[in-house]
Amino acid sequence: MRFAKIDWALAGVLAAMAIGVTACGSSSSTSSSSVPTSIGSGEGQLNLVAWEGYAQPEWVKPFEASTGCQVHAKYAGSSDEMVTLMRQGGGSTYDMVSASGDASLRLISGGNVAAMNVALVPEWKNFIPQLQSPSHNTVNGVHYGISLQWGPNVLLYNSSKVKPAPTSWESIYNPKYKGAVTVPANPIQIADAALYLSKTQPSLGITDPYELTESQLNAAVALLKQQRPLVKKYWTAAADEVELFKNGDAVIGAAWPLQTNNLQAAKVAVNELIPTQGATGWADTWMLSAHAKHPNCAYKWVNWVSTPKVQAEQAISFGETPANTKACPFMEQIKQGSCVKYHANAPSAYFESIKFWKTPVKDCGNGKTDCTDYSVWQKKWTEITA
Amino acid sequence: MNAAARTHASAALYRRPWLRAALLLSAPSGWFVLIYLGALFLLFLSALWSVDAFSGKVVHSWTLANFETLIKVPAYRTIALRTIGIAAAVTVTDILLAVPFAFFAARIAPKRLQAALFVAVLIPLWSSYLVRVFAWRLILAKDGILNWFLGNIGLGSLNIGYSNWAMWIVFSYIWLPFMILPVWAAIERVPDSFLEASADLGAHGWRSFRLVLLPLILPGIVAGSIFTFSLTLGDFITPTLVGGAGSTFIGNVVYQEVGISNNVPFAAAFATVPLVVMGIYLLIARRLGAFEAL
């Protein structure tokens, strides 16, 4: 069976990682042996796999002008797609990927990405401590990429049609909005349902929305199957959701802050919020392909996007929080109040409150291995949406 | 090559017509076998492989696991039946629209109008498929033109944007010219005297149509249905753009398996389903004489 094979493969990954932990425990300095120690001259080109809105002309054009590296960005709609794109053509088609936490470990354990030398990225020292060596991109002290930005998945609603303003994720499961709900076409959406259930049905005992036993997963799947008749469309690209809200086909849904920004710029009456149950979210990393053809341009790129000014530009453009703590004043320069709005100076408690995307694995983190892994999630998601 | 050898070669070719034919056809048939049949063969072959989830690489050992999943997981059955069902609905709709139109255009309309109608049928094919689908997306959207129009004439509003209804309408529109043209040609070929004789013998209107015209144009209708049915069966763009929750087609699964899950063997396995369906359809069509009307 296809799925049984995936189970074994993931178990293999975990075993390999466990061995790696014990083997490399004493010698964490081996990391610098295979990484470059200086950045050479650019190769004239850089091919990126990125989230929509991560390669805006606003900061790509000046980068191209100053380095001579022509940027070609391919937008991907999900972490699964990113992993696939980075594996295509032997892994040399794309140089870098803006991987979220649920893709980064898959890329590392698949050997698709290379270790990076953080010493070549001076701004790295100014990152918030949680994003300097986070477990989703740093394994045994080896850095597989440079953190970028982070943020929550929000509840987006049409403020002229949804009254009173929603406060809970309950709204996207409420028959009141039948045929006007939109959620991402992405198996990781199961975690959103699990997060909601963890607060509304404590008896299920969900502590981490990415670590679900079979019965917990079934509860989340049942909720999503109940939601399915309410859903107008499962969106695959941010632009799709924007159009659904523009034309009145959807009035409420799960979104990224990018959509809110685009809709408000188009004068559509929408608002976003983090509901009372909290939110899932992403912490993205620029990762370098193990077979990158343009590594110097790649290092130049991570340096460029780590600078406080570009960090500020991207944060405001997408509606997320920069990793670089020095970005705040630049954000204020671009837009008054944006530093507070996008939590660039928020205490670490805010960071801890977001349940960041990660790949579900069998290991529940409590010594038990009865959790459902991602291949099971994908299978269930097909069942829900088919 | 000197003149004598040339004469000799041409004489040899003249004496052997089969050799002439073989030389003439070797390039196109070689292309056909290599590119066309070769690709189909590879499709079937890779459907029997699997993917290693850890590395994402194809494992070249034989397994029927992909077909097993297709049969065992109810979701894939739902998707296959939905695809075939909508393709059939679109075909029937296009027949119902095309036959009266083609009859009017071929037998009733004056010559000048005939030319205008012919151009009108072809004009949509001049613009991009995508443009036409996006146009329908705007027409059928909740705050779109259709509901604006219905609201203005006091009929309330329809909520059919992003649904299987929307797909049915858009597919029927997009493939209609491919049904009209063969039916038109078939109706044109029926001699006037047949219908006159039928009328003289007392069969009027509907009876003449049913007993005389319909059997004669049936091959044309079946030929058109091959286009509408197969084109709908293989599409994935219209479901993506105008479909809603629960509008997944076989093509969408194939696209996702290749582009998102990196599972080419499973995509190949699912892609054999429309091939088999079309194979059966073509066999039936041949029995109905459709290939004489193409």
Q: How many CB pairs under 8 A join A and B?
A: 90
pLDDT at A131 over 90: yes
| Out of B50, B162, B261, closest to residue A80 by CB | B261
User: Amino acid identity, residue A324?
Assistant: N
DSSP 8-state code for residue B36: I
**Does residue B61 sit at the A interface (CB-CB below 8 Å)?**
no
**Does residue B76 sit at the A interface (CB-CB below 8 Å)?**
yes
| Out of B66, B142, B248, closest to residue A248 by CB | B142
Interface contact flag, A382 B259, Cβ < 8 Å: no
DSSP letters spanning A40-108: ----SEEEEEEETTSS-HHHHHHHHHHH--EEEEEEESSHHHHHHHHHGGGGTS-SEEEE-HHHHHHHH
**Does residue B239 sit at the A interface (CB-CB below 8 Å)?**
no
**Cα B79 to Cα B69: distance, rounded to the nearest angstrom:** 13
DSSP letters spanning B177-231: HHHHHHHHHHHHHS-HHHHHHHHHTT--HHHHIIIIIHHHHHHHHHHHHHHHHHH
Residues of B in contact with A5 (CB under 8 A): 50, 52-53
Report pLDDT for B53: 67
Give the range among A34-38, A135-139, B96-100, B188-192 with minimum mean pLDDT: A34-38
Interface contact flag, B52 A5, Cβ < 8 Å: yes
Report pLDDT for B256: 86
**Does residue B79 sit at the A interface (CB-CB below 8 Å)?**
yes
- How close B82 gets to chain A, by Cα (Å)? 10
| Out of B78, B159, B266, closest to residue A179 by CB | B159
Nearest residue on chain B to A107, judged by CA atoms?
B55
| Out of A2, A81, A244, closest to residue B69 by CB | A2
A221-225, A367-371, B30-34 — most confident range: A221-225
- How close B67 gets to chain A, by Cα (Å)? 10
Cite the beta strand spans of chain A per DSSP E: 45-51, 70-76, 96-99, 138-139, 142-143, 146-152, 154-158, 181-184, 231-235, 252-255, 270-273, 280-288, 321-322, 355-356
Report the share of chain A in percent with pLDDT over 70: 91
Q: In this predicted model, what pLDDT tens digit does every residue of A158-177 receive, in sequence order?
A: 999 999 999 999 999 999 99
Find the helix or strand (DSSP H, E) in which B50 lies: strand B50-51
pLDDT at A3 over 50: no
User: Amino acid identity, residue A156?
Assistant: L
pLDDT at A16 over 60: no
Report pLDDT for B260: 80
Backbone phi, then psi, for A348, in 5-degree steps?
-65, -20
| Out of A10, A236, A247, closest to residue B144 by CB | A247
When pLDDT is averaged across residues A294-310 and rounded to a whole number, the result is 96
Report pLDDT for B1: 56
Contact call for residues A63 and A69 (beta carbons, < 8 A): yes
| Out of A5, A88, A386, closest to residue B79 by CB | A386
Contact call for residues A247 and A150 (beta carbons, < 8 A): no
**Does residue A9 sit at the B interface (CB-CB below 8 Å)?**
yes
Contact call for residues B203 and B185 (beta carbons, < 8 A): no
Interface contact flag, B245 A111, Cβ < 8 Å: no
User: Amino acid identity, residue A65?
Assistant: A
Q: Which of residues 161-180 of A touch B (CB under 8 A)?
A: 179
User: What does DSSP say about strands A142-143 and A138-139: parallel, antiparallel, or unpaired?
Assistant: antiparallel
Q: Return all residues near B107 (Cβ < 8 A) that are at least 6 apart.
A: B187
Report pLDDT for B286: 87
Sheet of strand A270-273: strand arrangement: A231-235, A181-184, A252-255, A154-158, A270-273
pLDDT at A25 over 70: no
pLDDT band at A24 (very low <50, low <70, confident <90, very high): very low
Question: Helix and strand tally (H, E) in chain B?
Answer: 15, 2
Report pLDDT for A31: 39
**Cα B156 to Cα B149: distance, rounded to the nearest angstrom:** 9
Q: Which of residues 164-223 of B touch A (CB under 8 A)?
A: none
Low-confidence ranges of chain B (pLDDT < 50): none
User: Amino acid identity, residue A342?
Assistant: Y
